Amino acid sequence: MNEINISTKLSELRKEKGVTQEEVAMALEVSNKTVSKWESGSSAPDISILAELAKYYNVSTDTLLGLAGERKGTRQVIANEFKGLDRQQTTYKIFEIIKAIFPASYDAAGFDCDNVEEIIPPQTDEFPRYSIAVPELFSYAVCSDDVNIAVTQFRNKANFAWLFDEEKQKRIIELLGFLADADVIKIMSFIHSSNCSDSFTAEYMAKNAMVSLDKTTEVLEKSCNFGVCSKLTAHLVTGEVTVYVSSGDGLILSIISLAYVRMFGIFGINGYNYNYYRNSKMIGAKKA
């Protein structure tokens, strides 16, 4: 066993995982000093615990022992998936990877993340914002103190026919018109705040969003039409009270966030540091 290789590798893996020596010790039921000695190279883990270490760090025992080649970074692993693919196959592969990311991440992390700070990606000075566009897809991501968001739009079999449907146009305009109001933005902001109860009255919302009661009631009623809220009637001793229910709506928050980066993320640090752009004309020509 190469003690120098394994000590360096254990330290690297721990830092990649973002845990302390104390957390490693607790997970493996050993002392903090033991983990410290492993990483300093003054001692090496017994053969019996190598499997537990490999499982904890999600690597092979060969990797721990320095017998395996260097671990490939995420970018290299993904790049290998596209080798030998033509343009159409590349598009399908992107969609396949995106669909696999979320269930894979849930499987790895479980559902026990209580601290939101653990799941907010940090801002990077290298690529705070980027876009990739080809006729088949448009992929956009921004990572900043203001917004962390990623969006990928693909061509579709319907060829965006819904954009030319007058009834659907009316509904889209209705939603955009609904959001184009300062009081609506205030109410949407509070609904999406962890300070907001999932069940609330118009009075509660008006007070916390600092919007008049009449306007708040109007907004909440319209919100029900868009699926942001639902409502029920509570029968109290003092009479009937309308109670609105909402746990937030990620799509609404995304629409607002995208509007923000379009209007305020064009220059400075949020400019396009990395940009592969051909065009975003994803709607194909109509057949005669």
Q: Which of 64, 89, 106 is the last residue of a domain?
A: 64
CATH code for position 185: 1.10.10.10
Residues 86-124: tens digit of each pLDDT? 887 888 888 788 877 767 766 665 555 455 555 566 655
Of 37-41, 67-71, 141-145, 158-162, least confident by mean pLDDT is 67-71
Is the per-residue pLDDT at 274 higher than 80?
A: no
Residues 182-205: tens digit of each pLDDT? 999 999 999 999 999 999 999 999
**Conformational region of residue 7, where left means phi above 0, alpha means psi within -120 to 50, and beta covers everything else:** alpha
Q: Mention every residue, 6+ apart, whose C-beta is less than 8 A from residue 24.
A: 14, 35, 56
Backbone angles phi, psi at 157, to 5 degrees: -60, -30
In the prediction, which pLDDT does 64 show? 76
Split into its structural domains, the chain has a count of 2
Domain assignment present for residue 147? The answer is: no
Domain assignment present for residue 129? The answer is: no
Using CA atoms of 178, 281, 151, 134 in order, give the dihedral in degrees to the nearest 10. 180
Is the per-residue pLDDT at 252 higher than 90?
A: yes
Domain assignment present for residue 120? The answer is: no
Q: Which of 34, 64, 94 is the last residue of a domain?
A: 64
Is the per-residue pLDDT at 166 higher than 90?
A: yes
Domain that holds residue 24: 3-64
Q: What CA–CA distance (Å, rounded) separates 235 from 244?
A: 14
Backbone angles phi, psi at 238, to 5 degrees: -80, -5
Backbone angles phi, psi at 114, to 5 degrees: -90, -25
Mean pLDDT, residues 214-218 taken together: 98
Domain assignment present for residue 127? The answer is: no
Q: Which two tokens stand for residue 105?
A: 């991440």
In the prediction, which pLDDT does 255 show? 96
Q: What CA–CA distance (Å, rounded) separates 243 from 203?
A: 10
CATH code for position 12: 1.10.260.40
Contact in structure between 123 and 145 (CB atoms under 8 Å):
yes
List the 230-236 sheet strands across, edge first.
199-200, 239-245, 230-236
Q: What is the chain's mean pLDDT, rounded?
A: 82
Is the per-residue pLDDT at 207 higher than 90?
A: yes
Domain assignment present for residue 172? The answer is: yes
Domain assignment present for residue 10? The answer is: yes
Confidence of residue 2 (pLDDT cuts 50, 70, 90): very low
The helix (H) or strand (E) run that includes residue 16 is: helix 3-17
Domain assignment present for residue 268? The answer is: no
Domain assignment present for residue 92? The answer is: no
Residues 26-66: tens digit of each pLDDT? 888 888 899 988 888 888 888 878 888 888 887 777 777 76
Q: If you average pLDDT over each of 141-145, 224-228, 282-286, which comes out highest?
A: 224-228
Q: Which of 64, 83, 102 is the last residue of a domain?
A: 64
List the 274-277 sheet strands across, edge first.
148-154, 137-143, 129-134, 274-277
